[in-house]
Amino acid sequence: MPEHSYLAAVRESYDTVAADYVVRVKSPAELDPLSRGMLNVFAETVCTAGLGPVADLGCGPGKVTAYLAERGVPAFGMDLSPAMVELARGAHPELRFGVGSMTELPIEDDSLGGILAYYSTHHTPPALLPQVFAEFHRTLAPGGCLMLAGHVGAGQHLRPTQAYGGHPVSYESYLLPPDRLAELLKRAGLALTARLVEEPGEGAERTFATLLARKPERT
């Protein structure tokens, strides 16, 4: 299948910013209590279910993958950017990381106990989110859990030209309402179990949301 054109821009941009990204983006231990708490809930949920490995999709330099692993989650990471994957492997050689796209996951059907998509779907054009969420549904085992977190908005389409220390970027971002994301997950066959919307804090400009969902058990 031909690669979607936006993926090249995302890959090139994150390859460019990777070295500064890793020092500028907070580790999970530095997050606000609510964000960190939702990660802990996800970790406990997938560990308790014990349905299989957990994929951190859009893992970047692997900070969140490692955080999950420290809490007993059998986690591995995947990212579109080879430079990010190289940084993740160097920082966490005990964990598994690979290059791949959420639009066509190199993962078998019904094989994952969980998926974490942590600030990693907002570069996907809204028209292609159903394809991404269908991949989540396909690869999750029945009863498997998804945590989707990221910036949300009223449908803004952002086109930044610089990021993470002034490096040039060509990716675009789409900030959708939480209700729209929840509806798209439902259409993909995933059952929403919780949502948390956090308003911008001091020094922040954007609202962000966390959605938890499950792939229903077979009947």
> DSSP string spanning 77-113?
EEES-HHHHHHHHHH-TTS-EEE--TTS-SS-TT-EE
What would the pLDDT profile of 36-75 be if each residue is shown by its tens digit? Answer: 999 999 999 999 999 999 999 999 999 999 999 999 999 9
Tell me what percent of the chain is helix, strand and coil, each rounded to the nearest 5: 35, 25, 35
- Which stretch of DSSP H or E encloses residue 156? strand 156-158
Cα–Cα nearest to 175, from 106, 126, 137, 132: 126
Residue 219 falls inside a structural domain: no
Residue 19 falls inside a structural domain: yes
Residues of the chain with pLDDT > 70: what percent? 97
CA distance 187 to 175: 19
Please state the pTM of the whole predicted model.
0.96
pLDDT at 5: 87
Domain count, the chain: 1
Rounded to an integer, the average pLDDT of 26-30 is 93
CATH number for the domain harbouring residue 119: 3.40.50.150
pLDDT at 2: 60
pLDDT at 47: 97
Rounded to an integer, the average pLDDT of 155-164 is 96
User: What domain range includes position 171?
Assistant: 5-214
Residues of the chain with pLDDT > 90: what percent? 92
Residue 14 falls inside a structural domain: yes
Rounded to an integer, the average pLDDT of 89-112 is 97
